[in-house]
Amino acid sequence: MGQSLKVLLLCGWLGWTAGAQSVQVDQLQEPLTAEEESYVLHGLNWMAQFYLEQGFHPRNRLNARVFATYPEFSQYQLAHRNFSDGSRPSPTAYFSISADELVTWRTRTLKSLFVHEGNHALLRSDFRHPPKWINEGISECFEGFDFASSPPAFLPQRPRLRKVKRYLTPEFGRQVVSVLDLSDREFNQMSTDRGLDSYTRAWALVFYLWTQAGPRGLGELLRGLKNGEPAREILARLLPGDLEQNLLTFYDQLEPSPPLP
């Protein structure tokens, strides 16, 4: 319970609001509803402000293609997306850096998926080729935040936390940290593992960093990676102590926050 409270209180001491940075979304297919657009813009503007405050230069326009049905989305993805990096077709959404567009469909998790893929667009507008684990780890982390309120509630992503709890063994910390050693192709190939898949490992590491070091810590990690500094050296500086054991202890104590109204 204490860990859940800590995560919720983060939104209070940060004191950030979305507004200083404005991101415009050009809707190329199905329009978002007014409620969806409000949520998405709040999330995009907050993320853009985060990157600005950490010394990055995020884009201020985003092309988005939202299909009404999954078959339309799937057909478009297979015709336009490149899978040469070992990635697999997404059942929900993706961001294409070559086509410069966010593509998704009207699934029930549309708003959080839009935030996830929108983060890829914002991050890669200044850090074009980040390691796969940090690119996905941050997007998974921000996807779990709740942008219906201002400031947002920095919650753990519930599906990822459930999976972490299911596979919380003494080897958990080592498995999470091992995500740092994966190439982008290996990360993609391990994305559907039955145990702790690569996406869950990346989320667990980034969310833990966020709770311990906040936005400045995440910003320092990103700047270091962009400058070619080894990830383990940056994390050792930001998260002193036995990282593997601390990850195990943190997630053993962390309880899911109740759904927000």
Residue 2 is encoded by which pair of tokens? 């204490």
| pLDDT value at residue 150 | 81
Structure-token pair, residue 152: 């947002």
- Whichever domain contains 245, its CATH number is 1.10.390
Q: Is residue 67 part of a domain?
A: yes
pLDDT of amino acid 258 = 61
Pairwise CA distance, residues 68 & 104, whole Å? 9
- 90-98 mean pLDDT: 94
In a domain, 260, yes or no: no
Q: What domain range is 196 assigned to?
A: 2-253
Q: Comparing C-alpha atoms, which of 86, 81, 85, 103 is closest to residue 94?
A: 103
Q: Using the 8-state DSSP alphabet, how is residue 159 labeled?
A: H
Question: Would residue 261 count as lying in a domain?
Answer: no
Tally the domains of the chain.
1
Is 148 inside a domain boundary?
yes
Question: How would you classify the pairing of strands 101-105 and 93-96?
Answer: antiparallel
Q: What per-residue confidence (pLDDT) applies to 20?
A: 60
Give residue-wise pLDDT tens across range 137-189. Answer: 999 999 999 999 888 999 999 999 999 999 999 999 999 999 999 999 999 99
In a domain? residue 210: yes
Q: Is residue 115 part of a domain?
A: yes
Q: Is the pLDDT of residue 10 over 90?
A: no
Contacts of 64 (CB under 8 A, 6+ apart): 25, 26, 27, 28, 29, 101, 102, 103, 104, 114
Across residues 84-112, what is the average pLDDT? 94
Whether residue 121 lies inside any domain: the answer is: yes
Average pLDDT, integer, range 29-41: 95
Instruction: Take residue 167 and report the two structure tokens written for it.
Output: 């596979």
Residue 258 lies in a domain: no
Dihedral sign of CA atoms 121, 52, 222, 36 in order? negative
Q: pTM here?
A: 0.90
Residue pair 231/178 in contact by the 8 Å Cβ criterion:
no
